Amino acid sequence: MSATYPVKTCLWFDTEAEPAARLYTSLVPGSEILSISHYGSENQYGETGSVLEVDFRLGTQQFVALNGGPHFTHTPAASIQVFCPDQPELDRIWDGLLADGGEPSQCGWLTDRFGLSWQIIPTRLGELAGDPDPGRSSRTIAAMLKMSKLDIAALEAAADADPETDDA
């Protein structure tokens, strides 16, 4: 079959779809709000004229934020991964998502103020964790498991540690 179909991830919010989408698109480079639709008078879930859906793009991935009411909440079982090229960019996105009530977790995970889970990951982690030397890879993963926000320099130091003289 040669046809392709649009695929988006739908994120359910009570009433915060627009502020959430605006925060996310302000933090992730190459992102934008694509469209906003509003509830009409024929609905039972939202006030007439209030935001129903926000279509947006984070990098190359499309999402729709739906104001569907308090029936469902986010869970860490689903998260958005953002791969950052360097520590300053990782710090900027991490701090922006934690602002105004987010909660850090472990291994690069956090929950933003809207309850959505994120993984803010340096691209360097994949390189270090995938190192052909199993010792370097293992030391990298062991260091990551002790972190909340990931620290590229600390991950590199752990990978480079001499297993004969240092308990990385």
In the chain, what are the domain boundaries?
1-73, 74-168
Helix (H, G, I), strand (E, B) or coil at 26: helix
pTM: 0.91
CATH class of 1-73: alpha beta
Structure tokens at 14: 């009570």
Residue 42 pLDDT: 80
Residue 168 pLDDT: 47
Residue 167 pLDDT: 53
Residue 41 pLDDT: 86
Torsions phi, psi for 158 (to 5 deg): -65, -45
Are the CB atoms for 69 and 17 separated by under 8 Å?
Answer: no
Consecutive 10-residue runs of the chain (168 residues): their mean pLDDT? Answer: 87 97 98 96 81 97 95 95 98 98 98 98 98 97 98 98 70
| CATH number for the domain formed by residue range(s) 74-168 | 3.10.180.10
Residue 113 pLDDT: 98
